[in-house]
Chain A
Amino acid sequence: MSSGTNYINATKGIKSWIFTVDHKRIGIMYLAFVLLAFFLGGMFAILLRLELLTPSALYLTAKQYNQAFTLHGAIMVFLFIVPSIPASLGNFFLPIQLGAIDVAFPKLNLASLWIYVIGAVFCFYSIIGGSVDTGWTFYTPYSSSTDTSVIPMIMGVFILGFSSILTGINFIVTVHKMRAPGLSWFKMPLFIWTLYSTAIIQVLATPVLAITVLLLMLERTIGIGIFDPALGGDPVLFQHFFWFYSHPAVYIMILPAMGVISEVVATFCKKKLFGYELMAYSSMAIAFISFLVWGHHLYVSGQSPYATMLFSLLTFLVGIPSGIKVFNWIATMYTGSIDLKSPFLYFLSFIFLFTIGGFTGVVLGSLSLDIHLHDTYFVVAHFHYVMMGGTVMAFLAGLHYWWPKMFGKMYSEVAARIAFIFVFVGFNMVFFIQFIMGSKGMPRRYYNYLPEFQPYHVVSTIGSWILAVGFFIILGYFIHSLMKGKQAPPNPWGSSAMEWKIASPPTTFNFDENLPYIDHGPYDYPKGNS
């Protein structure tokens, strides 16, 4: 089974990667780039936490601190978390799970990758040439008046948006047109369902971000006067435009994570996913409702109080489909034969952390509380619990789960568990304390603070070091696995999913002879199938 030709060694040379149209190679390259972005964003995070060790300035000026958190946020959101799961794991596994040779538009897929790289170059240029200091949200009027390099950064965001849209279009068409014979909609794995609903959001919301940053660019260069109050414009309109994209975008981040989690829980419980149809529908429901709640970011921005009430109500609605999912995952574990491998550990931490993140989201969605909590560390903790505790944990779960398939190598399970402990403990140390800090009134985005907050900040900063150690251990054993790892069997976890029926790593065309005929559901285990 082992050492045959596969997608990695089928052709040689750097050009065979740069110009490849193989979705697997593109996925791997995306993986490399988003991990690089994660590393860079993480470095900024460590710098930020270090500065916050003391109440007064430690080694950054106020402006440098502003630049550092802006770059941290912008890199993490636009370069890392939005493309993370869909573009890397999604690209790799979507066609395989569909029983297809490739995505519908392989060249577009390649274009999307290199457009992403071009966008990243613009963002890097912004870092070198006078780093932006507006926050990743680019609120006007500050963003239309600051002298830092706003334009390169939003140019980068604009271009990255295109990359995201192209991926979205590609995935939707692939799901519609490239399913293997016999694979009807409700036989698709949930990972595909979530990628599909993510793609819908990508296609519908990202263009609004594109036009928003374009208008901001015009505001800065020719003064069209629609966002800048000095010119008669309305800065709240900018926030509407921005969050019309960026709230749905948080579901671009979390939906694929939910998909990964669904795959992992079924495999490691050897059980059919509880409430499969409901899971599929709730993904679509989340995609839809996510377009109705953006105003919860504008509660204290001078938005109309009537709009505020409406948005608060709608915000509570979005908790419902998310709640359904959490219950279904938990119900799947019930009577399953659980195999406590590292992907499953990440699954457990996902459930735990995402639930905290989601609940605090509902807290923030209620009007009177948000007036107190808005722009405090409570918000910071909320979104880190969903983005890092949710998406990043799921990304790690997916990486550990699919690593043997992608590279054909096993990693050290012992090292993985040790790293998991560091990551889990570190993460909670950094962010749980921020809930408390925030509810006591510590505002976000300040480089110094009142001395009574120092104990909290110290815990948080020490946590960030523990977290960093965890990530370096992960990096270490993954590299080790690539160099010296044991050869992986085709199906190390005993999963029934499509991708585990082919070789590890897969051959260039995924399926050796004919396309598979898929006549059963995705989670074909003896248990849970009534």
Chain B
Amino acid sequence: MSQSDNSTVAHHFEHAHQQFSAAKLGMWLFIVQEILFFSALFVAYAVYRGLHPEMFIDAHHHLSWKMGGTNTLVLIISSFTMAMSIRAAQLNQRMASFWYLFTTLLCACMFMVIKFFEYAEKIHHGYLPSFWFSGEGVYETMHIFFGIYFTMTGLHGLHVLVGMGLIIWLMIETYKGRYNSEYFTPVEMVGLYWHLVDLIWIFLFPLLYLIG
């Protein structure tokens, strides 16, 4: 066993590459479980949309596609800056990596602020899951749409919040100079997570806001 002098290699791994590729596989498996976690929501969406097509179309007019669209753009840009920050870490550009992370965080904040205004508006008009639903509409099952809407976007929003926490942690560590071209595993892993958050939104946006 070649005992590596590199302090970032844990005792049970033989070399840094094994450790990196193990971490990456682990992260992919985590993403796999996230996908299945969300899949049930998409199934529920499809079932109720199939059962109540008119209600869905009517209900989605209460969502603002402009806000949803803006959020889509914001998330896409954040995904790009996240990818760039990994790249910067790989190229030993510490401060560039830091500022890319910062931009990502900023986008995430923007996403949450817009989300906040959206939610506030829905709540104001009573478009809520059924225990509090008091909104107006022609269909009596409309609370189901909003139940699904709040669950899906809520869980997604929760993932954004967790991602923001992780990015803040990365910024601190990057600032301290923990990452370089030899070791940048955490940046890469959080990056994958962040892209997943973007991926889910890519599907949520047309399904909820652009029903047509």
- A residues at B contact (CB < 8 Å): 100-102, 104-106, 108, 165, 168-170, 172-173, 176-178, 203-208, 210-212, 215, 218, 221-226, 231-234, 237, 240-241, 244, 514-515
Contact = CB atoms under 8 A, between A and B. Distances in A.
Interface string B92-124: 000000000000000000000000000000000
A106 B19 CA distance: 12
Contacts of A222: 128-132, 147, 150
> Which of B11, B29, B38, B131 has the most chain A CB within a 10 Å cutoff?
B29
Contacts of B131: 221-223
B144 A233 contact: yes
Given A207-B37, A218-B147, A241-B43, 17 more contacts: A100-B12, A101-B11, A101-B12, A104-B22, A106-B10, A168-B29, A169-B33, A177-B21, A177-B25, A203-B29, A203-B32, A218-B129, A222-B128, A224-B144, A226-B148, A232-B140, A240-B43
A215 B154 CA distance: 12
Contacts of B8: none
Nearest to A108: B26
A177 B141 CA distance: 51
Contact of B130 (A108, A203, A223, A515): A223
Chain B contact surface mostly: helix
25 contacts: A176-B25, A178-B12, A203-B32, A203-B33, A204-B33, A205-B36, A208-B36, A211-B37, A211-B40, A212-B40, A218-B147, A218-B151, A222-B128, A222-B129, A225-B130, A225-B143, A226-B147, A231-B130, A232-B144, A233-B144, A234-B51, A237-B47, A240-B43, A514-B1, A515-B1
Nearest to A228: B130
Contacts of B132: 222
Given A231-B143, A514-B1, A172 B36 contact: no
Given A204-B36, A237-B44, A173 B25 contact: yes
Contacts, number: 111
B180 to A, nearest CB: 23
Interface string B28-56: 01101110111111011001100100000
A208 B1 CA distance: 41
B197 to A, nearest CB: 16
- Of all A-B residue pairs in the complex, the 7 with the closest CB atoms, nearest first, are A224-B147, A207-B37, A223-B130, A223-B131, A102-B12, A177-B22, A101-B12
A165 B33 contact: yes
A106 B26 CA distance: 12
A207 B143 contact: no
A260 B29 CA distance: 25
B134 interface: no
A224 B26 contact: no
B25 A172 contact: yes
A241 B45 CA distance: 13
Nearest to A219: B147
B18 interface: yes
A226 B29 contact: no
Contact of B40 (A108, A172, A231, A241): A241
B33 A231 contact: no
Given A104-B22, A169-B26, A223-B129, A207 B33 contact: yes
A106 B29 contact: no
Contacts of A203: 29, 32-33
A250 B151 CA distance: 29
Nearest to A204: B36
A173 B129 contact: no
Contact of B39 (A165, A168, A208, A234): A208
